[in-house]
Amino acid sequence: MVTLNKVMNYIAPLPVILVTTRLEKDGKNYDNIIPISWAGIIEHSPHMININISKGKYSGTVIKKTKEFGVCIPGSKYLEQVDMCGCTHGNKVDKFKLVNFTKYDALEINAPLISECPVNMECKLSNVIEFKSHEMFVGTIVKTYVDDEYVSEDGEPDYRKMDILCYVNGYYWTLGKKLEKLFYTSG
C-alpha cells in the first residue's frame, strides 16, 4: 500500500452529464449546456439528485434564477461535443449550435433537453448548498425519458447500448460492461 503525499478524492468513475438551462431575456430564450461529473443520487422518494458547479459559473446563476434544469446523459459517441461544451462559456456561445445538438422541449420545466442523449431528466431546484469552491444544486426529478433505442425487452434502460461516458482522474472513460445483478450472491 502506498500513502500518497497529497490527499485526493478517488471516488470513480463519475458520470458525465450535460446540464441544460434556459434564461428568458428580452423576449428571447438563451439555452445553455454545461458538462459536469460531480453529480449523484440523494433520495429515491421523491427522486432527487445533486449537481455541483463551480461558484460564479453562468449555469449556476441561471439555475438559481429559474429554479430548474435538465440533466441529459450522453453516450460515448458524443465525446467531442461534450468536451467542446466544457471548453466554452454559455453566456458567450450558443453551445447547441456549436455542437449541433437537437433540442426538444421539456414538459414540466422551461429548459431544453437533448435528443442525442439516451436519458433526459427534468429537475426542479429544491436547495442550493454552498461550499468553498462549488455550489451543490439539489434537484427533484419530475420527468424522466429514455430513448426507445436504449430500452431492453423487459422495459428497463439498457446501459450497455448507451455506452455512457464517465470521468476518472482527468480522463473520459466508458461505463464498460454489466457483470451481475445487485445481491446476486443472496441465493
Domains held by the chain: number: 1
Q: Is residue 39 part of a domain?
A: yes
The answer to whether the beta carbons of residues 168 and 14 sit under 8 Å apart is: yes
- Give the pLDDT confidence score for residue 147 in this predicted structure: 95
- Give the pLDDT confidence score for residue 11 in this predicted structure: 85
**Alpha-carbon distances of 187 from 70, 129, 156, 180, rounded to whole Å:** 39, 42, 23, 13
Give the sign of the dihedral formed by CA 38, CA 144, CA 82, CA 99.
negative
- Amino acid, single-letter form, for residue 77: K
Write out pLDDT tens, residues 136-160. Answer: 999 999 999 999 999 999 998 998 8
Q: Give this prediction's pTM.
A: 0.93
Least confident range from 56-60, 63-67, 165-169: namely 165-169
Write out pLDDT tens, residues 78-127. Answer: 999 999 999 989 889 999 999 999 999 999 999 999 999 999 999 999 99
- Give the pLDDT confidence score for residue 179 in this predicted structure: 66
- Give the pLDDT confidence score for residue 180 in this predicted structure: 74
- The helix or strand, by DSSP H or E, that contains position 98, with its residue range, turns out to be helix 95-99
Q: Is residue 75 part of a domain?
A: yes
- Give the pLDDT confidence score for residue 184 in this predicted structure: 65
Residue 102: CB atoms within 10 A of its CB come to 11
- Give the pLDDT confidence score for residue 73 in this predicted structure: 96
- Averaged confidence pLDDT in the chain: 92
The answer to whether the beta carbons of residues 124 and 67 sit under 8 Å apart is: yes
The torsion angles phi and psi of 48, rounded to 5 degrees, stand at -135, 145
Q: Is residue 1 part of a domain?
A: no
The CATH number covering residue 29 comes to 2.30.110.10
| Chain position carrying cell 478524492 | 9
Q: Which domain holds residue 76?
A: 14-186
